[in-house]
Amino acid sequence: MPDTITQSIQDYLKHIYELNEHGGSASTNDIAIRLNIAPASVTGMLQKLASATPPLVIYKKHQGVTLTKNGEKAALEVIRHHRLLETFLVTTLGYSWDEVHREADKLEHVISEDFEARMAEALGHPTRDPHGELIPTADLVMPVDESCPLASLRTDETATVRRVSDDDPALLRHLREIGVVPEVKIVVKSYSEFDGNLTLQVEGQKSNVVLGTAVTSQVFVDK
């Protein structure tokens, strides 16, 4: 590890991890957008992370970065903190799932390993956060996610909601209202090949609901 993994570095690593998840390397621009920082500043940091001892990222000019094993461990540590915190805030302080993100984004950098362990214990060692995202294990292994986008289902298919994208609080509130939350079962009543709309029967809901791809691409299910 470099001498110190600052809060700023933790945020870089976390976002690089998430960008790496969906395909290859994380580009300077993508990182800059997610961190709300000028691209030139990102370049500087990437060079620093790449020449740290040991290196936290693999960086080739103009080709973005990938995490090294060390970088990934550091990223998973932060992600575990974040997701445990979200779970903790929802269950013990009554936060709703669209409110926790900002709070966890700051707390994730300052809690101790003891705090992390106490939360995990108090919550019964959960494997998913309130949005259904997988929580890395205490020894920093990310479980495999086998869910697929709700948008990929077709008429008569049945599935269980596992995870919803937590990017957009408004979308989260909407999903909460229509009952599309993790662990709920759904049945696809019909599919429109024109607009991709899905008509769904949602467990526990009186009437069916029709969702467009803007929504169904953000919800992930296990068949």
Binding site for its own copies (CB under 8 A): 92-95, 99, 102-103, 106-107, 109-112, 114-115, 118-119, 122
Residue found by looking up tokens 């790496």 in the block: 20
For residues 120 to 159, the per-residue mask of contacts with DNA, x marking binding by CB under 7 A and - elsewhere, is: ----------------------------------------
Rule CB under 7 A: say whether 62 interacts with DNA: yes
Q: How far is the CB of 150 from its own copies (least distance, A)?
A: 31
Three-state secondary structure call for residue 188: strand
Nearer to DNA (CB atom), residue 106 or residue 154: 106
Residue 99 binds what, of DNA, its own copies, Mn ion, none (CB under 5 to 8 Å, by partner type)? Answer: its own copies
Structure tokens at 160: 């269980």
Q: How far is the CB of 72 from its own copies (least distance, A)?
A: 25
Rule CB under 7 A: say whether 44 interacts with DNA: yes
> How far, in Å, CA of 115 to CA of 117, rounded?
5
Write out the DSSP string of 75-130.
HHHHHHHHHHHHHHHHHHH---TTTHHHHHHHHTTT--HHHHHHHHHHTT--SB-T
